[in-house]
Amino acid sequence: MENSRLAQLLQSLTPVELRKFERFLQSPYFNTRSDVLLLFHAIRASLEASPTLPDRDAVFQEAFPGKQFSASEQHLLMTYLVRQFEQFIRVEQIKFSPELEDWLGVKAFQRLGLENEGSRAIKKAFQRLESGKLRSIAYHEQGYRLQYEQVRRHRAQPEQNARQLKQLSTRLNTTLVVLCLRQASFVLSEKAVYNMEPDTWFLPEVFRWVESADHVSVPAVGAYYFACKMLLTDEENWFKALKKSLSEHSPAFPPEELYDLHMIAINYCVRKLNAGNELYFQEIHELYKVGLETKTLLHNGFLSPLNYFNIVITGLKVNALDWVAWFIPQYKNSLERRFRDSAYSFNMARLHYARREYGEALMLLQKANYRDLLTNLAAKTQMLKIYFEQGESEVLRNHLDAMAHYLRRKRVIGYHRENYLNIIRIAKRLLALPAGKGPERAQLRQLIESTDPLTERKWFLEELER
């Protein structure tokens, strides 16, 4: 059962969700095959005993003791179980999507020809929509769908329908504008990553509509409008407007939409940092803190290792050492188990380094088992800096040789290979530099400034001046 899609799907469920799926399979409304339920029990028992993917023969014998193994029969049962899983997550998703649940109810009554019940369902759906806090894209799309159904049902009442047609046009315009602004803000934010020129021909007309009245007061319109303006003009006032909008209207957006808006703001700050404006480290730090407070940065209760690392880096950059010391253990268990120990130890080492507690930092860096290649290289770079700052010249020479050997052995390629080879080369030059302010120092400065890529450029320049 190596690399079984089914086992991986089941591993994605929480213990509570697994129990729900079991009850789902026990319901004859959804599942009439007892052998599918037996297979589920066997796979779950195997996964609970060991996190590795179970052996297919062992699972079959667990499910059907004494029965001769049949690969074709097991494949068929696994296919049935995957289909049941897909059906289960659809049913579960409806519970988390009240607008979808309401809309399906409207369409169900329509299919049955129950017009009066359909009208009641539309009215109830409108009440739930307007009484909720969300004012996101889903809110505007649902409002348009419901209004359209209402207009269709009132064709025989021209006076009432005229008013509703006007409301329908307003809802359609708002929905289309929000969709256009979201699309534009996303591609504008990502264009540097994909090296492409985004197709945003529609933006001038969209901007005119937004600016023609007080449409920016609509949370979704305002947030995406400010994001687009920020990305197009690179002006700080639009960044501040977006930050203010996110602060005031965060309850209006679902977590995934709020996360995207936060990352657009953070990526803008990163661009400013890359342009040399280090004041934006503080802005990123504040955005991350807000994202943690609102749980925007958590996906299904977990914080990504990348965000965990970046939060620590920005906290250290703004010298918020006490806050970082609180954050690292506080959010350790918000990481997935497979990342938890290595991410915790590496970031604690970073904190100790920032406090010049070199012994504690080295202990963590030397003992930890960093399975991720780039984390391992980052840890070796951190050790390089500690050895240099402690004046451990011989240890550093051996460390640099071992680091170069590691790069060759692991066959690191592309940007990362060039970067770490440059770090090793310049570290050796810095180590061999004679005392005083001779021409060698000026030559090395020129080399550091011109070498690219070089992620430790600032550190090398600082050490050169000591």
For the chain, give every domain's residue range.
5-95, 372-466
The CA radius of gyration of the chain, in Å to the nearest whole number, is: 29
Alpha carbons within 13 angstroms on the beta-carbon side of residue 393 total 5
Q: What is the DSSP code (8-state) at residue 334?
A: G
Nearest to 183 by CA among 204, 198, 205: 198
User: 242 near 230, Cβ under 8 Å?
Assistant: yes
The vertex-324 CA angle with 318 and 329, nearest 5°, equals 165
302 bridge partner residues: 299
Q: What is the pLDDT of residue 52?
A: 67
Q: pLDDT > 90: what percent of the chain?
A: 73
Q: For 172-192, what is each residue's pLDDT tens digit?
A: 999 999 999 999 999 998 876
- Check if the beta carbon of residue 81 is closer than 8 Å to that of residue 30: no
Res. 370: pLDDT tops 50:
yes
pLDDT score, position 207 = 97
- The residue with greater pLDDT, 195 or 50, is 50
Average per-residue pLDDT for the chain: 91
pLDDT at 284 over 70: yes
Query: How many angstroms separate the Cα of 41 from the Cα of each of 1, 37, 126, 182, 324?
Result: 15, 6, 42, 44, 43
Residue 458: strand, helix, or coil: helix
Residue 34: pLDDT band (50, 70, 90) is very high
pLDDT the model gives residue 6: 86
Mean pLDDT of the 98-115 span: 94
Contacts from 13-21 at CB under 8 Å and sequence distance 24+?
A: 17/92, 18/44, 20/88, 20/92, 21/85, 21/88
- pLDDT band at residue 413 under the 50/70/90 scheme: confident
Average pLDDT over residues 198-211: 93
327 burial via Cβ count (<10 Å: 0-12, 13-18, 19+): buried
Q: How many CB atoms lie within 10 A of CB 158?
A: 9
Structure tokens at 73: 């029969």
Take residue 397 and report the two structure tokens written for it. Answer: 């020479």
pLDDT at 26 over 50: yes
Return the pLDDT at 3: 43
pLDDT at residue 193 is higher than 70: no
Show the tokens assigned to 178.
Answer: 């929000």
**22 contacts 40 by C-beta, under 8 angstroms:** yes
Confidence of residue 1 (pLDDT cuts 50, 70, 90): very low
- Which residues share a beta bridge with 135? none
What's the mean pLDDT in 151-155? 82
Q: 5: pLDDT confidence band, cut at 50, 70 and 90?
A: confident
> For the residues of 249-317, what is the DSSP string, one character each?
HGGGS-HHHHHHHHHHHHHHHHHHHHTT-TTHHHHHHHHHHHHHHTTTTEETTEE-HHHHHHHHHHHHH
Note the pLDDT tens digit of each residue in 329-359.
999 999 998 889 999 999 999 999 999 999 9
Q: How confident is the model at residue 112 (pLDDT cuts 50, 70, 90)?
A: very high
* pLDDT (0 to 100) of residue 53: 62
**Both tokens assigned to 365:** 């860096």
Amino acid at 303: L
In our burial notation (b when 16+ CB lie closer than 10 A, e otherwise), range 418-450 reads ebbbbbbebbeebeeeeeeeeeebeebeebbee
Instruction: Report pLDDT for 171.
Output: 95
Closest C-alpha to 177, from 141, 129, 133: 141
> One-letter amino acid identity for 405?
H
Token pair for residue 194?
Answer: 């994909």
How far is 448 from 461, CA to CA, in rounded Å? 7
The residue type at 244: K
